[in-house]
Structure 1
């Protein structure tokens, strides 16, 4: 019984103790609550107000340790001088004003209005540049450690725009805890960029530099080139191999004239100063006494020889510095070494940088060649589309159609009209291609029936007549659509460019035109080689009389061929209109190139037209590469080249057998 009573008393005492302990803890919590964000800030008011780099880091750590949503905003405001404090109670706030007379005060944590004040009642906190840099680094560290991936991405974007040496350790810490593979890749690349410039470990720098040997990014070259910065130096001994860029010879290198080189020796006290005529004059003037300089009257010093003689006497008397002769200057220059010394002290880092830059430059040159070739192919595909219709009509009928460019213009305007009714740009382009073919096919048939058929075998009259038709079509387009350029909008999926690396890129519109050219090449090849129309066309091309005797109607074939060539020109107009201005003069910009393509490639031959377009497009881009600011000069050189080319290959690259060849 006694044991039971004792156990009961123990349990009661324990429960009473737990209750008392809980009551004490609750009371303590009520008496000592967690400090608010404002309280944490105010606790460091004096350090924030003073703004010293030496005392700011503990304040930054304390504010970030709160994990309060307002912590980053506070640090940003501190960095951007957007913090103020109220003089009456030293409360730190942010402010806003419209009239610059009454200031609205905002709470740091809630950003709610807590009152108003005049300019005299508040004071701005202005951190110096060193503290602002420290705050910036702290902000980057906190943002890269955020749980929000978007904030980490934005912070990394900001960091990449202006990386600092202080960010190196922050990046390495962030990489270790980052779980997003894409962000890890970007962070690692930026970390290597900073490592190769600012790391104290030479081996780490060399490893980072060598890792960029196949990277064509502009930011890589922008950070490698400063490592190879040089300064002009002079030494009595030969410089150490690997520490200098080149040895300079005074008077032969533009950056080192003889007078500059000799001045460097004078600054080193290795040579006497070179006395100029102006300096001699001032010395002589300072020695004038009673209108005499020594024993010579000033009136006798009216020639340079006389003045030099007096100056030489002053030198002998120790009253003026000696003027070295030209031979003495040359001898002094030959006894020393002038060279461009690298600012980078490590020869191994310099060697790695030079090797990496050399490898990058090789890849850049190769990429530029590929990019130039792709530009040439892109231009060739445009020329091919514009010229293939002309190649068909010219090859089959021998008609020089000067209105071919206007059929291109009609196709572009057809696409514009379609887009006025079909607002979906993808669908409108898909509808515009057959519509442009139909419109220009009918226009070509009408022109052949009304004009061209009456002028066969009369090339001069045909040329003049079609030229008149081209002028009429241009004027008709101006009357209908006006002189202002009309937009032919490409679909969104054709925006931008196909980027292979930082050097090679090609717009998606050019890619689409290249694919369209390849498609039409295949369709025309199939039409001319696998269909009855193609068989009859080739028969009329090679021998019209024999074709006629076999029951083929050459007149009908000519009409359909002319219409086919005009229809293809209309499709070319839609493609060209996607990147060029659609005006009544659109066709005239391509008629010359179309004729050049046909003549160089071979009249009436599809493969010849393709070869001519490729040669002209690539060659024109190559000429423009040498003089990119003057495309007119490039076109002039192209015409000169074609004239010379025709002298040796009058029938073009691929000559056509039959009537066209004979003509």
Structure 2
């Protein structure tokens, strides 16, 4: 009876479920590997910890990575701690309750190295993907992108459907496609993922697809059955050097190292028997040809490296066939990756053209601002003003001075634009009244006089501001760039200059076409004698026109100073382009100046794209092209009628 009762009790106990395993139990099972953690031994520990599916796992891993886990030296149990002076309160890792108080000397802090912490961080990703904090979810995605692993794919897929943030969800979908292409086990799924990625031009997409097309060189006879062969390769090509091909043949037993002259001589000396080597008397080995022939005979008779006179690495590897074999074994995957990268390459090319167009448009707007004042002056007055670049410099320095007075960069720039116009307008009027008006119809003397004035203005600027470049700081809202994708982007400063150029284009058109001053300027431009007979004062119009052109140059100086260094010589960098813009576009015509600036801006950027390492050569090519252009169209793109056309 007793035996029956004991047996029944035993069966009852056996039928009861086993006690649930706690996180502490798992940690104790792996205690030696946790105490002396390394990158190699920590992965199975993390796998068992995560397999418990306990709610406290995420917190433990986070605090372990942060070196905030301690071990009780007496019990060997792992705890969190709260420090109060010299007292360390031990907190149970599962319940969060204080279980004991210890001193620091009774505890050991877990200090995982950077490699172990990286592995823990990777393991934490699957928990952080569903974290309520969107910033932590984005951090998890960044961690996956930085160090992706096959284990990330399943939790990433599982987190997509429940993701409430559309931006994060799109990022998860893109990253899931990348991981599927790289680590997926189903061929159809990988090919589909690669096809989805073929419309993306991001760097990370290309970085994920390029490894799928990595190859390794192999001897054609050594390729295993079923290998994914990319195609034949030739020794000496970028894929396979002659030396690497030769070493490969040696390893395969298809070739032997070529003995050098010293090795061959030593072999001959070592095999001298009765005054002869391989039957050849030593006395006859007095020439290199004789010694080489004796070595060939010796190699056929003795155990020395074989050698053929004239043999080289190139001649040896030329008799063998080599192929490139994909490291990715699945041919369908490599085919899809190759097609996707071809599609991406075409899209990247199109975006590069668009980016180049934006750069050209940006440069054109800068040249338009720099040249429009000169176009008005040259067109109306026929004055070659070599000091035009110095008016640009004066405008930039005006902006710099105002920034020293007004600390707010936005306000200072807004004030600097009209102030630069006023300063350079006054300087232009003074120059016209004091110098230019006495030199009309004397272009060579005007050129020399304005060139001397430009040198004097540069020296004055050096005396006032020194030779060191001065900063003209853009407002904070102009920091950064408008980035469309990994290829196309343009800085906000360049966009602002483009908008400013458009504003001035509209203002100048309104002034010249809708105001009395504009009517008089156009009249003087077309026929000064007739304009004078109609009561228009050409002398006054010339003065105002020169002042207007100089004032616009000052505003251009403020705009250019936002991204270029403000120095006394900065105007010289734009005077040549300004004259080229005016001449190519058509003297004295706003639309011609606009077209000329556009043509020169795009031309310069195009030449620089073909020759990016030599900007001086790009400038030279551009000048040569413009000289040729002027030979066929000497009056520019839009020829002006009137006095400018007659000159």
- Aligned twin of 2:47: 57
- Aligned twin of 1:604: 588
Cα distance, 1:134 vs structure 2:
5.7
CA contact (8 A) 1:95 1:104 kept: no
Cα distance, 1:234 vs structure 2:
2.0
**SS in structure 1 at match of 2:490:** strand
Instruction: Confirm whether residue 654 of structure 1 aligns to residue 638 of structure 2.
Output: yes
Any gaps of 5 or more consecutive residues in structure 1? 1-34
CA contact (8 A) 2:379 2:588 kept: yes
C-alpha change, 1:592 and 1:106, in structure 2 (3 Å) is: farther
Cα distance, 1:239 vs structure 2:
10
**SS in structure 1 at match of 2:217:** strand
- Aligned twin of 2:137: 152
**SS in structure 1 at match of 2:323:** strand
- Aligned twin of 2:60: 71
- Aligned twin of 1:552: 536
Match of 1:85 among 68, 71, 82: 71
CA contact (8 A) 2:277 2:298 kept: no
Instruction: Confirm whether residue 191 of structure 1 aligns to residue 180 of structure 2.
Output: no
Q: Which stretch shifts more, 386-395 or 259-268? A: 259-268
CA contact (8 A) 2:128 2:137 kept: yes
- Aligned twin of 1:368: 352
Q: Which stretch shifts more, 40-49 or 412-421? A: 40-49
**Bigger radius of gyration among the two:** 1
Cα distance, 1:379 vs structure 2:
0.5
Distance 1:238 1:321 in 2: 28
- Aligned twin of 1:458: 442
Match of 2:506 among 490, 514, 522: 522
Q: Which stretch shifts more, 268-277 or 516-525? A: 268-277
Instruction: Confirm whether residue 625 of structure 1 aligns to residue 609 of structure 2.
Output: yes
C-alpha change, 1:239 and 1:394, in structure 2 (3 Å) is: farther
Q: Which stretch shifts more, 365-374 or 83-92? A: 83-92
Aligned length: 617
CA contact (8 A) 1:601 1:653 kept: yes
Q: Could you list the per-position Cα deviations for residues 443-496 of structure 1 after superposition, in whole angstroms to 9, with x for gaps in the alignment?
A: 211111111111111112212222222223223333333333333222222221
Cα distance, 1:655 vs structure 2:
1.8
So what's the TM-score if we normalise by structure 2?
0.85
Cα distance, 1:595 vs structure 2:
1.2
So what's the TM-score if we normalise by structure 1?
0.83
Q: Could you list the per-position Cα deviations for residues 20-73 of structure 1 after superposition, in whole angstroms to 9, with x for gaps in the alignment?
A: xxxxxxxxxxxxxxx9x9x954773352333454455344455x6243884243
What value does the CA root-mean-square deviation take over the aligned residues? 3.6
Distance 2:25 2:226 in 1: 60
Distance 2:503 2:225 in 1: 63
C-alpha change, 1:393 and 1:330, in structure 2 (3 Å) is: closer
Match of 1:562 among 513, 533, 546: 546
Q: Which stretch shifts more, 521-530 or 102-111? A: 102-111
C-alpha change, 1:106 and 1:648, in structure 2 (3 Å) is: farther
Any gaps of 5 or more consecutive residues in structure 2? 1-19, 35-40
- Residues 136-535 of structure 1 correspond to what in structure 2 (within 5 A)? 136-236=121-221, 243-250=228-235, 253=237, 256=240, 261=245, 264-270=248-254, 277-289=261-273, 292-317=276-301, 319-320=303-304, 322-323=306-307, 337-535=321-519
**SS in structure 1 at match of 2:197:** coil
Q: Could you list the per-position Cα deviations for residues 479-518 of structure 1 after superposition, in whole angstroms to 9, with x for gaps in the alignment?
A: 3333333332222222211112211111111111111111
C-alpha change, 1:225 and 1:259, in structure 2 (3 Å) is: closer
CA contact (8 A) 1:600 1:652 kept: yes
**SS in structure 2 at match of 1:489:** coil
Distance 1:622 1:148 in 2: 47
CA contact (8 A) 1:273 1:324 kept: no
C-alpha change, 1:422 and 1:305, in structure 2 (3 Å) is: closer
Distance 1:244 1:256 in 2: 15
- Aligned twin of 1:4: none
Distance 2:122 2:216 in 1: 32
